[in-house]
Amino acid sequence: MTVEIVSLVTDVKGCQPMDLEPLSNVTDPDALENLIRETAAGEFEIGFDYEGGRLSISSDGTIEFDLSVDRST
């Protein structure tokens, strides 16, 4: 999942993976992987701020990154 997150964020921001803050600085990537794997029967959505936008991960494995969310509030 980490690779998918980094790929999505770099595509949206138009940058290289090395330009990003390490994902482990804002969340535990292993915990995210375990959450998806172990809660396959349940539904959830988790979101957190990353690289100036909002990253959302759903139980079905959908990953979204939105830079348009207003971070000023």
Write out the H or E segment, with its range, that includes residue 29.
Answer: helix 29-38
Tokens linked to 10 = 């770099």
Q: Which DSSP helix (H) or strand (E) runs through 9?
A: helix 2-13
Q: pTM score, two decimals? A: 0.82
Task: Compute the distance between CA of residue 66 and CA of residue 35 in angstroms, rounded to an integer.
Answer: 22
Instruction: Report H helices in 14-69.
Output: 29-38
Residue 49 predicted with pLDDT over 80: yes
Residue with tokens 């000023």: 72
Contact 32, 57 (CB under 8 A): yes
- How do residues 1-45 score in pLDDT, each as one tens digit? 889 999 999 999 999 999 999 999 999 999 888 887 776 667 888
